[in-house]
C-alpha cells in the first residue's frame, strides 16, 4: 500500500487554522494599603472588587460572542472522507442488457468552502454588534458606580466610629480624673460617697461603650475589605482627614436632573435599540438565504483494496444555493408581533424608570437638606455643650455646683459630640445618594 497517496487527499481536505491571540485576564492586585485615603480605597476596589472584575470578564465574553456570531460571514471550509465496501454491486439496465456497475472498494476525500451572501441572522448580528458592546460596557459602569458608593459609605462609617472612639477615650480620661477627685473629696470629708459612686458607674458605662465600638469596628473593617475585594487576612490601614471630610459635605442643590446621566436609563435605551433590531431581524426572515459554494473531491475505486489508492479521479463543483421560506405556519408573523410588544414593554419600563429616578432624586435631595441642617445644628451644640461643661467644671471645683450637675453637663457634651458625628455621616451618605440620583458619581 502506498501511504503517501493515502495522506495526500487528507492533507488537502483539512483546512488551515489561524492562531488566535487571547487577551490575558487582569490579575488581582494583592498589596497592603498603608494610610489609605478614601480615593485610594476606591481605586483599589475598582481594580479588585469581584463584581467589577466579573463585569470586565463579561465584556470579554461578550466580545467573543460577537466575534463568534460575525464569523459566519467568513468562508466556512469543511473536509470529509469516506470508504465503502460494496458487498453487492449495483446492477442497472442498459437497453436490453443488465449490467453490473461499480467496484468492490470505493473511497472519497474532499473539501468544500461555503460563503454566505445573504443571511438575515448575519445581517442582524452585524447591526447589533456595537449595541451589545455598549451594553456590556454599561453593565461595567453600573457595577463601578455602586462600588464607589458602597466603599465611600463604608469608609465614612469607619471614620465616624473612629471619631466616636476618640470621643469615648476623652470621656474616659475625664471620668477617671473626676472619679479620682470625687474620691479624694470623699476621703477629705467634703462630700459623701454618692459622688464617687456615680463617677464609678459613669466610668464603667464609658468603658463598656468603648468595648462595643472597638468590636463593631472589626466588623466594619471586614465589610470595607469585602466591598474593596481586599484580602481578609491582610491589614487595612486608613488615613482620615476630618477637615477635608467636613469640607466635602457641601453640594450644589440647584443641579438639574438629567435622565440621560443615569446608567439605568441608558441601559434601558440600549435594550430598546436591541429589541428594535430584533424586530427588524424577524422582518428580514422573509428574505431568502443565498450562499455560494465550491468543492473538490478525490474519488478512488478498485476491486483490489491494496490498489485502491493507486489512482484517483478528481471532480469539482461550484455554484449558488438559494433557500426561500415560503410558508412557516405564521411563525414569522407571530415573532414580529411578539418583538413589537416587547418594544412597547421596554417603552413602559423607560417611563417607569423616569418616575423612579425623579422620586429617588427628590427623596435624596430632601434627606440631604434635612441632614445638612441637622449637621449645622449639631456642630453648634457641640460648642455650646463644651462651654457649658467647662463652666460647670470650674464651678464644681469651687464648690458652687453639685457633682450631679457636672455629670449632666458631661453627658450633654458626649451626646452632642456623638450626635454631631452621626449627623456628619448621614450628611455624607445623603450627598452620595444625591450624586447617584443625579448620575454624577465619578471614578
pLDDT digits (tens, 9 = 90+) for 316-375: 999 999 999 888 889 999 999 999 999 999 999 999 999 999 999 999 999 999 999 999
pLDDT at 30 over 70: no
pLDDT at 21: 38
Ordered strands of the 313-323 beta sheet:
76-85, 105-118, 289-302, 313-323
Mean pLDDT (the chain) is 89
Share of the chain above pLDDT 90, in %: 70
Instruction: Summarize pLDDT for 265-300 with one digit per residue, the tens.
Output: 999 999 999 999 999 999 998 899 999 999 999 999
Q: Does residue 415 carry a pLDDT above 80? A: yes
pTM of full prediction above 0.85? no
Q: Return the pLDDT at 23.
A: 44
**Cell reading at 265:** 436609563
Helix (H) or strand (E) holding 325: none
Q: Look up residue 294 and give its DSSP letter.
A: E
Specify the 3-state DSSP secondary structure of 3: helix
> Which spans in 28-119 are helix H?
38-48, 50-70
Other C-beta atoms closer than 10 Å to the C-beta of 410 total 22
Q: What is the CB neighbour count within 10 angstroms for residue 415? A: 13
- In 3D space, the residue among 432, 264, 274, 308 whose CA is nearest the CA of residue 364 turns out to be 432
pLDDT category, 81, cuts 50, 70, 90? very high
Cell numbers representing residue 247 in the block: 469640607
Task: Check residue 69 and give its pLDDT.
Answer: 95
pLDDT at 396 over 50: yes
Q: How far apart are CA 252 and CA 351, in angstroms?
A: 27
Is the pLDDT assigned to residue 378 strictly greater than 60? yes
210 band by pLDDT with thresholds 50, 70 and 90: very high
Percent of the chain with pLDDT over 70: 92
- pLDDT of the residue at 431: 95
CB atoms within 10 A of CB 283: 14
How far is Cα 423 from Cα 404, in angstroms, rounded to an integer?
A: 28
Amino acid at each position: 500500500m502506498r501511504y503517501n497517496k493515502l495522506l495526500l487527499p487528507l492533507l488537502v481536505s483539512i483546512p488551515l487554522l489561524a492562531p488566535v491571540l487571547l487577551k490575558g485576564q487582569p490579575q488581582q492586585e494583592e498589596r497592603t494599603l498603608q494610610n489609605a485615603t478614601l480615593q485610594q480605597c476606591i481605586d483599589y476596589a475598582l481594580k479588585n472588587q469581584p463584581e467589577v472584575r466579573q463585569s470586565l470578564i463579561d465584556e470579554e465574553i461578550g466580545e467573543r460572542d460577537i466575534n463568534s456570531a460575525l464569523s459566519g460571514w467568513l468562508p466556512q471550509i469543511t473536509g470529509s472522507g469516506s470508504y465503502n465496501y460494496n458487498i453487492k454491486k449495483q446492477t442497472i439496465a442498459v437497453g436490453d442488457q443488465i449490467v453490473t456497475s461499480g467496484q468492490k472498494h470505493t473511497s472519497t476525500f474532499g473539501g468544500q468552502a461555503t460563503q454566505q451572501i445573504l443571511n438575515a441572522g448575519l445581517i442582524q448580528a452585524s447591526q447589533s454588534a456595537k449595541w451589545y458592546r455598549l451594553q456590556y460596557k454599561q453593565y461595567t459602569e453600573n457595577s463601578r458606580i455602586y462600588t464607589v458608593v458602597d466603599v465611600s459609605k463604608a469608609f465614612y462609617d469607619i471614620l465616624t466610629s473612629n471619631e466616636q472612639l476618640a470621643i469615648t477615650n476623652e470621656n474616659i480620661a475625664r471620668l477617671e480624673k473626676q472619679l479620682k477627685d470625687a474620691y479624694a473629696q470623699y476621703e477629705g470629708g467634703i462630700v459623701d460617697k454618692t459622688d464617687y459612686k456615680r463617677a464609678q458607674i459613669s466610668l464603667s458605662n464609658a468603658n463598656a461603650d468603648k468595648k462595643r465600638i472597638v468590636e463593631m469596628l472589626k466588623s466594619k473593617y471586614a465589610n470595607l475589605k469585602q466591598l474593596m475585594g481586599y484580602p481578609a487576612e491582610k491589614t487595612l490601614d486608613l488615613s482620615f482627614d476630618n477637615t477635608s471630610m467636613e469640607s466635602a459635605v457641601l453640594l450644589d442643590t440647584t443641579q438639574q436632573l438629567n435622565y440621560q446621566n443615569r446608567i439605568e436609563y441608558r441601559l434601558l435605551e440600549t435594550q430598546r435599540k436591541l429589541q428594535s433590531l430584533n424586530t427588524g431581524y424577524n422582518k428580514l426572515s422573509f428574505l431568502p438565504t443565498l450562499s455560494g459554494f465550491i468543492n473538490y473531491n478525490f474519488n478512488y475505486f478498485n476491486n483490489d483494496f491494496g490498489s485502491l489508492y493507486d489512482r484517483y479521479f478528481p471532480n469539482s463543483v461550484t455554484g449558488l444555493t438559494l433557500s426561500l421560506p415560503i410558508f412557516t405556519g405564521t411563525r414569522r408573523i407571530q415573532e414580529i408581533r411578539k418583538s413589537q410588544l416587547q418594544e412597547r414593554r421596554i417603552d413602559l419600563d423607560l417611563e417607569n424608570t423616569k418616575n423612579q429616578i425623579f422620586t429617588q432624586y427628590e427623596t435624596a435631595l430632601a434627606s440631604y437638606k434635612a441632614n445638612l441642617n441637622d449637621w449645622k445644628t449639631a456642630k453648634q451644640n457641640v460648642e455650646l455643650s463644651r462651654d457649658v461643661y467647662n463652666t460647670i467644671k470650674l464651678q464644681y471645683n469651687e464648690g458652687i455646683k453639685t457633682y450631679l450637675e457636672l455629670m449632666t453637663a458631661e453627658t450633654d457634651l458626649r451626646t452632642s459630640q456623638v450626635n454631631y458625628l452621626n449627623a456628619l455621616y448621614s450628611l455624607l451618605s445623603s450627598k452620595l445618594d444625591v450624586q447617584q440620583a443625579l448620575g454624577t458619581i465619578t471614578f
